[in-house]
Each structure stands twice: as structure tokens, then as C-alpha cells.
């Protein structure tokens, strides 16, 4: 601390030897993707148990910077920050029925009085209940409330470090409006705030249309960071810019002009259960077959037929059938409905003559196909779906998961499939929650109306790792300046030499005073070790201060992403300006 007149200036200084930074040479055994390996090796976080991490000082600094960007953009968008308890009473969840429908993803517990609680996996119920108690008049609307709070989900497969953990930091916001137009404005207001958030984090995140599930009018976008390590598939059309996740992506199918085929006949296919096995047995491609599956839609059996080389899209199926739940039927249902076991099911004369058969649109007009014979170990060839099956015209629809080369429903160009990491989502909820809570406002005639809601999530901790996934090289992380743990590392190569240390420390103070955060590597280590660590952690700017360099003209400055040829040598008193220039536009810094 320096004393100047009556004011105390507290300039934070950070020396590596006091920083608890520990880098690791070895990749952690459970890390499958680069960002997870780097997160641990660079000493940003440590695993406490499966899906549970401690954020170490370096990781905490980046997390705080991301949080701050999120907070500033929420505030700029007019949202109000609050914080609600992680521990949420069961009765709120029972109001919407989600206490039962959330399933095992929710951590549930009891207090000593046997009252039931959940560790919040999200907070629609809590916020709707709060809005109900805080809002009574249209004059208070529209309003958007948000928090940045830890969330808990008992994920089936926690993995990839912070990407899918059991405890994670989420920004969740909820908007309340008087009508659909207002809700639309709130939605796009948040959508644009999200674009700014990811841009300021140095991330390329693309908005993609997603399926709204059972909620409201189902308008929703997910923001994805494109990366091969992403868990989600996204269909992109270069022609018109359409982007949708695979559950949602709609495709156009050209009408078929299949040649007429003779009457169908039975083929014995002993032991061949899957399409691949039957295809290999008959020496034909998967597309010559019709894949037929018996589903249970809200408990009612239905046969679903798609081309042999395609997969049924459960989300599209559920939406098409207007069902609450669809799942593959158990084997008894399959046997009862079709007359055969799963490998031999087909749309020609199933045992249950009243069984509804729904087909993917690509099968409309299909002739000469091979289908299960509804008799174990037999298939039928030369099937003409219109001639030989009892399928209503209205039961042909887009029911498959989109794949590479499918035709864009909007513009007719082929679509590409890429992988993405979902870092956020904006969602129009309609009145699903507000109706359940009877969250109403009074209009100017003092009549009650249910509020229209939206909800908006940013995976703050997942975003941290997504930045690493999108921005690294073989040596380590390449942080964008806005979210780097420190923007500058000053490498003091001769910490035992007073004149060198003074120059390093003076530069540190000058940088801090200029609002640039800096760490001085004051370890008595070989330069090679120090440079390797600097590259691994990925500070945006590296400054080298050493006796040899000073004798040769000054300090060496380079950006993390520059190679040695771009290194500048400047006099110590010119270093601050040179660093500022390298860090670029101050607007990108926090
Ligand atoms: P996912 O499909 O990846 O499981 P989600 O769609 O269920 O995520 P949301 O309910 O939309 O997640 O939550 C908002 C954001 O929180 C997500 O966009 C994601 O960035 C983040 N998130 C969700 N689950 C996790 C998790 N287990 N670990 C880390 N971040 C998560
Ligand atoms: Mg989501």
C-alpha cells in the first residue's frame, strides 16, 4: 500500500511465488478433451470428486471476469439482479408438477423436520413465485430479473470437466410481460444481450433454433460454440444461414419416383436382427430397407417407419403425435402389436390391424423396399408402401434426425452438420409457470391477467471452459484479454538481482495503475520452465525482464499468439505503452 496525502491507494500486486499456482506436466487421466486437460494442467481448477471442482485462484479470476461481463450486459439490458436460495422447497416444484417430472437429475433432500427440498437445478418456480408476490399491476411490467447462482444437477454422465458437472455456475434470468408482443421484445432484448456477452468473452457463439419441448409457444434459441468436442449436433445451411440443433432441424424431401415392383414375397433371414445384419445378409445397402420400430406414445403403441439408414428423432415424433412422452415399447408390446420380436417388425399387416403406422416423409411413394415380415427371422421384399400397407396420408411427416447433406427446408441447399457446445439458451415460456402459480397482474381496468414469461440461461462455468476449447494451441491456452486470469505476465529472469527486480516491480505497479492486471513470475527457475508455464496458462502478453536483455537494449514483449519473430525489444520506460498497444482496444478488457 502506498500513502499519498490523506488517500490510501491499494494497488494489488501478485508475485508467482505467493500465488498458489501449480501447473502440471501430465494430463489428468479422466480428461478426454483439450480444454479439460488444460483447465487442470494450467492450474485453473482441481477435481474434488466426479463432476465437482474447486476453482483455484487463476480459474476464479477468469470466472469472475466472465461473471462481470454477464452482469454488465444484463444490467445494460435493464434486468434486475437478485439472488435466490440454492435450497428450494419441494412445494414450489409440486406447484408445477416438476417435483415428479424432473426425475433423478434433481438432488433432493430433507431438513431435520422432514421437509423436502431440492438443490436448485434451475429456478423458474422460485422466480415465478417471487414475481407473483412482488408484482400486482401492469405498471410494474415489463420486468426481467436475474441471478448468477450455483446450480446442481445429478447428470447421468458428468464429464469434460466444467462442461458437464454436477455443480455449475449459471446466470438465469426470467422476464414477465403483459402480452405476447411484450414477451417477444423481452426475448430479443436478451438474445442481443447474449450476443454481446459471448463477443466480449472473445467467443464465437452461434444462435441455433432448438425445440421448445412442451413449453409455451416454443420459440427458443441455443447459443453454441462450435468445436469438435461439442456434445450437440447442429445443422447449418450455408445457403440461407438456417441453423438448428439436430432435434429441431427440418429438412425438405423431394418426391420419390420409384419404379413399380412385383408383389412382395417372404425372404428367410435367420439370425439377422438389425438392419446392418439383414443388409449384409442380403448384400444390399441400408437405404433399401425400412426400419420399423414400435414406440409407446403416452402408453399407446404406434409403429414408426423410417429409411433403413436413418434414425428416428424422438422429439419430432413426440411433437407430431402430440404426445407427452414417447419411448421404445417393451418386448411384450412389440410382440402383441406386430406379431414378431423387434428385429422382424414391419408395416405390412401387423398382428394388431388397428395399429397406427407413422412414416418418415422420405418413404412417401417408396416401392421395392425390404421390411420386417412381422414373423421372426423373416423379411418381405418388393414392398410398395402405398399398395401393401395401411398408412394414412397424414401420417407421413419429417420424423428423422437430420444428417449431413439433407436439404434445407427453407432454401433447398444441402446442410452441413457440425458439433457445438451449448453455452446458453433463451426461451419463450408463455404462461406455463405463471398459470401454475396464478401469477397475475391487474390491467388498467383492474382485471387480472396471467403474466407472459421467458427464461434465459448462461452456463457461466461452461463458458469458461468453452473459451479454452475454442482458443488454445499445442502449448496451452490462448486467452482473450477480456477473460484472461491476468492480462500480462512479467517474467523476472533474475529475481536475485536487485536492479532487474526493481524494473520488473516498477512495471508491475505501472500496469496495475493503468488498470491492466499483471502477475510477476519471480521464481528462481530456468527461463525455459517459466516460458513453458506462461504459454500453458496463456497470459495474453508476456514481458521478459532480465539482466542480459537489459544490457542488450531493454525488455522483450510479445503476445501469447505471436511467434518469436514478432518480439519487440523496448526500453523499460516504454514498456507500458507498448503493452497497452498490444492489448488493443481497452473496450475488450474488463
Ligand atoms: P445440456 O443440454 O447441455 O444438458 P440444458 O439445455 O439442460 O444443457 P439449460 O437448462 O438450458 O441446460 O441451462 C442453461 C445453461 O447452463 C446451458 O446452456 C449450459 O450452458 C449450462 N449447463 C447446463 N447443464 C450444465 C452442467 N451440467 N454443467 C455445466 N453447465 C451446464
Ligand atoms: Mg439448454
CATH number at 94 reads 3.30.930.10
| pLDDT at residue 272, as a whole number | 84
Ligand nearest to the CA of 457: 1
H/E stretch holding 118: strand 116-119
Q: Say yes or no: 436 and 501 in one domain.
A: no
- For residue 586, pLDDT beyond 70: no
| pLDDT at residue 273, as a whole number | 83
DSSP string spanning 473-514?
A: ETTEE---TTT-S-SEEEEES-TT-HHHHHHHHHHHHHHHHT
Distance in angstroms (rounded) separating the CA atoms of residues 225 and 243: 13
- For residue 199, pLDDT beyond 60: yes
Name the residue of 150, 459, 467 whose CB sits within 8 Å of the most ligand 1 atoms, as the mutation to test its pocket: 459
CA of 497 to the centre of ligand 1 (A): 51
Q: Say yes or no: 74 and 220 in one domain.
A: yes
CA of 461 to the centre of ligand 2 (A): 14
| pLDDT at residue 245, as a whole number | 92
Q: Say yes or no: 102 and 78 in one domain.
A: yes
Is residue 151 included in any domain, yes or no?
yes
CA of 363 to the centre of ligand 1 (A): 36
| pLDDT at residue 135, as a whole number | 98
Q: Whose CA is nearest to atom 8 of ligand 1?
A: 422
pLDDT band (50, 70, 90) for residue 477: very high
Any ligand 1 atom below 6 A from CB of 164: yes
Q: Say yes or no: 235 and 88 in one domain.
A: yes
Distance in angstroms (rounded) separating the CA atoms of residues 118 and 109: 6
Ligand nearest to the CA of 455: 1
pLDDT tens digits for 123-146? 999 999 999 999 999 999 999 999
Is residue 559 included in any domain, yes or no?
yes
pLDDT band (50, 70, 90) for residue 171: very high
- For residue 589, pLDDT beyond 60: no
Looking at 468, 498, 528, the residue that finishes a domain is 468
Q: How many domains does the chain have?
A: 3
Mean pLDDT of 436-453: 98
| pLDDT at residue 545, as a whole number | 98
- For residue 581, pLDDT beyond 80: yes
Any ligand 1 atom below 6 A from CB of 425: yes
Q: Say yes or no: 245 and 275 in one domain.
A: no
Is residue 439 included in any domain, yes or no?
yes
Name the residue of 155, 156, 457 whose CB sits within 8 Å of the most ligand 1 atoms, as the mutation to test its pocket: 457
Name the residue of 166, 205, 425 whose CB sits within 8 Å of the most ligand 1 atoms, as the mutation to test its pocket: 425
Mean pLDDT of 360-377: 95
- For residue 302, pLDDT beyond 50: yes
Which backbone phi and psi does 314 adopt, to 5 degrees? -60, -35
Distance in angstroms (rounded) separating the CA atoms of residues 449 and 453: 12
The CATH number of residue 506's host domain is 3.40.50.800
The CATH number of residue 311's host domain is 3.90.960.10
| pLDDT at residue 1, as a whole number | 45
Q: Whose CA is nearest to atom 29 of ligand 1?
A: 164
Any ligand 1 atom below 6 A from CB of 422: yes
Name the residue of 66, 422, 429 whose CB sits within 8 Å of the most ligand 1 atoms, as the mutation to test its pocket: 422
Q: Say yes or no: 196 and 304 in one domain.
A: no
Residues 6+ apart with CB under 8 A from 46: 40, 53, 54, 56
CA of 463 to the centre of ligand 1 (A): 10
Coil, helix or strand at residue 226: strand
Mean pLDDT of 275-291: 90
| pLDDT at residue 216, as a whole number | 44
Q: Say yes or no: 440 and 567 in one domain.
A: no
Q: Say yes or no: 563 and 432 in one domain.
A: no
Is residue 404 included in any domain, yes or no?
no
Is residue 13 included in any domain, yes or no?
no
pLDDT tens digits for 54-102? 999 999 999 999 999 999 999 999 999 999 999 999 999 999 999 999 9
Distance in angstroms (rounded) separating the CA atoms of residues 125 and 103: 16
% of residues, the chain, pLDDT over 70: 96
Q: Say yes or no: 570 and 449 in one domain.
A: no
- For residue 588, pLDDT beyond 60: no
pLDDT band (50, 70, 90) for residue 462: very high
Is residue 8 included in any domain, yes or no?
no
Mean pLDDT of 169-189: 98
| pLDDT at residue 6, as a whole number | 57
pLDDT tens digits for 9-35? 666 789 999 999 999 999 999 999 999
Is residue 589 included in any domain, yes or no?
no
Q: Say yes or no: 145 and 70 in one domain.
A: yes
| pLDDT at residue 271, as a whole number | 86
Any ligand 1 atom below 6 A from CB of 173: no
pLDDT tens digits for 397-420? 999 999 999 999 999 999 999 999
pLDDT band (50, 70, 90) for residue 213: confident
Ligand nearest to the CA of 420: 1
Is the CB of residue 86 less than 8 Å from the CB of residue 153? no
Residue 397: left (phi > 0), alpha (psi -120 to 50), or beta? beta
pLDDT tens digits for 508-544? 999 999 999 999 999 999 999 999 999 999 999 999 9
Distance in angstroms (rounded) separating the CA atoms of residues 225 and 160: 15
Ligand nearest to the CA of 198: 1
Any ligand 1 atom below 6 A from CB of 170: yes
| pLDDT at residue 590, as a whole number | 38
Q: Say yes or no: 128 and 168 in one domain.
A: yes
pLDDT band (50, 70, 90) for residue 377: very high
pLDDT band (50, 70, 90) for residue 282: confident
Q: Whose CA is nearest to atom 13 of ligand 1?
A: 457
Is residue 435 included in any domain, yes or no?
yes
CA of 130 to the centre of ligand 2 (A): 23
Any ligand 1 atom below 6 A from CB of 171: no
Distance in angstroms (rounded) separating the CA atoms of residues 46 and 37: 11
Q: Say yes or no: 526 and 388 in one domain.
A: no
Mean pLDDT of all residues in the chain?
94
- For residue 296, the cross-strand partners are 301, 327
CA of 222 to the centre of ligand 2 (A): 6
Which structural domain range is residue 64 located in?
34-249+417-468
Amino acid at each position: 500500500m502506498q500513502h499519498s496525502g490523506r488517500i490510501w491507494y491499494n494497488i494489488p500486486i501478485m508475485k508467482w511465488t505467493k500465488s498458489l499456482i501449480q501447473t502440471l506436466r501430465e494430463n489428468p487421466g479422466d480428461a478426454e478433451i483439450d480444454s479439460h486437460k488444460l483447465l487442470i494442467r494450467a492450474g485453473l481448477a482441481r477435481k474434488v470428486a466426479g463432476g465437482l471442482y474447486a476453482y483455484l485462484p487463476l480459474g476464479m479470476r477468469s470466472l469472475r471476469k466472465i461473471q462481470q461481463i454477464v452482469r454488465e450486459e444484463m444490467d445494460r439490458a435493464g434486468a434486475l439482479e437478485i439472488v435466490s436460495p440454492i435450497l428450494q422447497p419441494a412445494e414450489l416444484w409440486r406447484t408445477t408438477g416438476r417435483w415428479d417430472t424432473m426425475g433423478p437429475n434433481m438432488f433432493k433432500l430433507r431438513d431435520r423436520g422432514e421437509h423436502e427440498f431440492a438443490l436448485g437445478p434451475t429456478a423458474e418456480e422460485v422466480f415465478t413465485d417471487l414475481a407473483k408476490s412482488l408484482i400486482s399491476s401492469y405498471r410494474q411490467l415489463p420486468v426481467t430479473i436475474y441471478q448468477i447462482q450455483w446450480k446442481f444437477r445429478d447428470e447421468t454422465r458428468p464429464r469434460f470437466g466444467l462442461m458437464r458437472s454436477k455443480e455449475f455456475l449459471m446466470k438465469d434470468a426470467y422476464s414477465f410481460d403483459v402480452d405476447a408482443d411484450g414477451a417477444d421484445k423481452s426475448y430479443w432484448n436478451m438474445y442481443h444481450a447474449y450476443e454481446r456477452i459471448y463477443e466480449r468473452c472473445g467467443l464465437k457463439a452461434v444462435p441455433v433454433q432448438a425445440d421448445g419441448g412442451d413449453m409455451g409457444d416454443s420459440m427458443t434459441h441455443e447459443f453454441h460454440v462450435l468445436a469438435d468436442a461439442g456434445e450437440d449436433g447442429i445443422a447449418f445451411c450455408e445457403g440461407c444461414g438456417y441453423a438448428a440443433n439436430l432435434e429441431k432441424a427440418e429438412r425438405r424431401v423431394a418426391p420419390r419416383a420409384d419404379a413399380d415392383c412385383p408383389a412382395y414375397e417372404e425372404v428367410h433371414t435367420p439370425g439377422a436382427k438389425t438392419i446392418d445384419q439383414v443388409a449384409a445378409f442380403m448384400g444390399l445397402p441400408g437405404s433399401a430397407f425400412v426400419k420399423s420400430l414400435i414406440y409407446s406414445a403416452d402408453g399407446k403403441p404406434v409403429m414408426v417407419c423410417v429409411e433403413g439408414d436413418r434414425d428416428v428423432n424422438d422429439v419430432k415424433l413426440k411433437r407430431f403425435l402430440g404426445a407427452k412422452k414417447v419411448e421404445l415399447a417393451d418386448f411384450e408390446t412389440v410382440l402383441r402389436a406386430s406379431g414378431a420380436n423387434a428385429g422382424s417388425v414391419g408395416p405390412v399387416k401387423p398382428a394388431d390391424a388397428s395399429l397406427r403406422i407413422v412414416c418418415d416423409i422420405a418413404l412417401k411413394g417408396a416401392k421395392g423396399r425390404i421390411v420386417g415380415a412381422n414373423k421372426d427371422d423373416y423379411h418381405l421384399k418388393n414392398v410398395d408402401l402405398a399398395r401393401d400397407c395401411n398408412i394414412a396420408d397424414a401420417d407421413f411427416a419429417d420424423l428423422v434426425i437430420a444428417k449431413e447433406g439433407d436439404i434445407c427446408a427453407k432454401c433447398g441447399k444441402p446442410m452441413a452438420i457440425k458439433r457445438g457446445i451449448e453455452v446458453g439458451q433463451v426461451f419463450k415460456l408463455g404462461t406455463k409457470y405463471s398459470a401454475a402459480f396464478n401469477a397475475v397482474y391487474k390491467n388498467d381496468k383492474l382485471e387480472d391477467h396471467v403474466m407472459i414469461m421467458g427464461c434465459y440461461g448462461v452456463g457461466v462455468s461452461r463458458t469458461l471452459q468453452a473459451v479454452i476449447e475454442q482458443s488454445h494451441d499445442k502449448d496451452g491456452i490462448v486467452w482473450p484479454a477480456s477473460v484472461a486470469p491476468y492480462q500480462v505476465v512479467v517474467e523476472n529472469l533474475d529475481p536475485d538481482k536487485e536492479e532487474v527486480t526493481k524494473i520488473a516491480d516498477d512495471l508491475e505497479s505501472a500496469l496495475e495503475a493503468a488498470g491492466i492486471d499483471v502477475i510477476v513470475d519471480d521464481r528462481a527457475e530456468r527461463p525455459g520452465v517459466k516460458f513453458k508455464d506462461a504459454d500453458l496458462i496463456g497470459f495474453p502478453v508476456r514481458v521478459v525482464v532480465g539482466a542480459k536483455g537489459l544490457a542488450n537494449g531493454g525488455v522483450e514483449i510479445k503476445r501469447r499468439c505471436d511467434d518469436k519473430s514478432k518480439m519487440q525489444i523496448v526500453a523499460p520506460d516504454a514498456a507500458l505503452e507498448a503493452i497497452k498497444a498490444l492489448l488493443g482496444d481497452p473496450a475488450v478488457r474488463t
